[in-house]
């Protein structure tokens, strides 16, 4: 991997932010600091102090996002925004989201160190609850900032706490989320650990993210017939589990075939249950849930049609009844903005970072910011591709090189956006 000894950013300051947040974890559960739980405000206080020490003007917006602002020299040009999230999954990692917030802050510090004034305002954001929260939903802050947070989500409740009250508790104002939806953001950039093994395997520094995969969840119900497991001949059964097992292996084969195409694709049967789930009864019912992710929408549509055909075939051959597979959720892919992708490629070249374009199979706040502005992401390597686990690890030098890419990209964007609007 490329390394520069003359980066415009300070790796030690990045590490200090990451380490400072890592110390704020549920006892005995590294590294756990979920949104809307007792430790989350401590993390927010730590970050707000760091934002202010860097000279940023801080506020909590209506959706509960922590925002640090560095005014530009040309009011009205709009805002270049950088950021990610500081909340974690249970027993999660030190870097998922957190590295992106630390890098965004470091870019603001580095600009100040060098006396570099942007024409655009610069904002650093810690989005509220990017991970699936105690309310069962994710990307709450970025959805709110983009004005696409479903209003009925505010009434979601857990342990007597509603989401609306949870947002108020972190300083937001749920009644004003829609009114404060942002339309002034000129561009949004996010750094994230890859959460996969590709960059490490290929010994590359940066992944320039072409798209955030669309996620489709497909439910399949198999209806068989309960019979005595010892007395019913094998050829006289309608075994729901046997049919479902063929579905699982068939879906796996389809997924492998689709993944060999030119764009990113994965599919996983992540939920599975049977009834009556008794050792001496032929299973009468099975349910499975597919999580499918595609960079290209056409790929997802062809996969879903193939699953429909597979279900029909297995139902005929096994004597079971399989209802038409049902899409429980269906999110479109989010492509990276072409101008920003080109700028990020050029920024990688400028700092000597080995890079490639690649898709993101995971969801990110960038997908919602793309609804209101140009948006793109970069990835940095993480050890063995591990994430959402205590073992999640990324080298400070790798993160700092990513920060240098964003620093360079922000300076380029400040000029290009003005030229584009001239």
| Binding site per annotation, positions for allantoate | 217, 280, 293
Which of 127, 111, 93, 9 is CA-nearest to residue 54? 111
Name beta bridge partners: 360: 212
Strand partners, 170: none
**174 in helix, strand or coil?**
helix
Token digits for 71? 């005014």
Q: Compute the distance between CA of residue 93 and CA of residue 85 in angstroms, rounded to an integer.
A: 12
Task: Enumerate the known binding-site residues for Zn(2+).
Answer: 85, 96, 131, 192, 388
Closest CA to 164 of 151, 156, 172, 154: 154
| Rounded alpha-carbon distances, angstroms, from residue 51 to 59, 86, 123, 335, 370 | 10, 14, 10, 30, 24
* Cα(249)–Cα(253) distance, integer angstroms: 6
Q: In 205-282, which ranges are continuous DSSP H helix?
A: 240-259
On whether the CB atoms of residues 55 and 383 are closer than 8 A, the answer is no
In the annotated binding site, the residues are: 85, 96, 131, 192, 217, 280, 293, 388
**Cβ 355 vs Cβ 389: under 8 Å:** no
**Which of 342, 339, 345, 259 lies closest to 295, judged by CA?**
259
């Amino acid at each position: 991997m490329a390394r520069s000894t003359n980066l415009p950013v300070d790796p030690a300051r990045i590490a200090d932010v990451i380490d400072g947040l890592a110390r704020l974890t549920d006892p005995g559960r590294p590294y756990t600091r979920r949104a809307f739980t007792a430790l989350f405000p401590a993390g927010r206080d730590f970050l707000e102090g760091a934002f202010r020490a860097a000279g940023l003007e801080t506020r909590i917006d209506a959706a509960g996002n922590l925002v640090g602002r560095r005014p530009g020299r040309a009011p009205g040009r709009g805002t270049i925004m950088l950021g990610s999230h500081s909340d974690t999954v249970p027993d999660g990692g030190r870097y998922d989201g957190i590295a992106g917030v630390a890098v965004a802050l470091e870019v603001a510090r580095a600009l100040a160190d060098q006396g570099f004034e942007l024409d655009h305002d610069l904002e650093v954001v810690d989005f509220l609850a990017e991970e699936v929260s105690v309310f069962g939903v994710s990307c709450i802050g970025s959805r709110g900032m983009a004005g696409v947070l479903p209003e009925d989500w505010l009434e979601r409740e857990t342990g007597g706490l509603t989401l609306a009250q949870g947002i108020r508790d972190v300083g937001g104002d749920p009644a004003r989320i829609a009114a404060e939806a942002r339309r002034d953001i000129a561009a949004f950039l996010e750094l994230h650990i890859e959460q996969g093994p590709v960059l490490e395997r290929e010994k590359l520094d940066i992944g320039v993210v072409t798209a955030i995969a669309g996620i489709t969840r497909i439910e399949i119900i198999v209806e068989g017939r309960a019979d005595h497991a010892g007395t019913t001949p094998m050829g006289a059964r309608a075994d729901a589990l046997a049919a479902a097992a063929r579905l699982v292996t068939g879906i796996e084969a389809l997924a492998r075939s689709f993944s060999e195409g030119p764009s990113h694709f994965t599919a996983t049967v992540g939920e599975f249950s049977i009834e009556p789930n008794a050792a001496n009864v032929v299973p009468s019912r099975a349910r499975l849930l597919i999580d499918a992710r595609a960079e290209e929408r056409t790929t997802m549509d062809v996969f879903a049609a193939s699953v429909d055909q597979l279900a029909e075939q297995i139902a005929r051959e096994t004597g079971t009844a399989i209802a038409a597979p049902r899409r429980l959720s269906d999110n479109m892919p989010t492509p990276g903005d072409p101008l920003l992708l080109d700028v990020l490629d050029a920024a990688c070249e400028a700092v000597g970072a080995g890079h490639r374009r690649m898709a993101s199979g995971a969801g990110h706040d960038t997908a919602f910011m793309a609804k209101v502005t140009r948006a793109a992401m970069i990835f940095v390597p993480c050890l063995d591709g591990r994430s959402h686990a205590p073992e999640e690890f990324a080298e400070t030098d790798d993160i700092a090189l990513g920060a240098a890419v964003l620093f360079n990209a922000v300076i380029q964007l400040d000029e290009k956006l003005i030229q584009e609007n001239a």
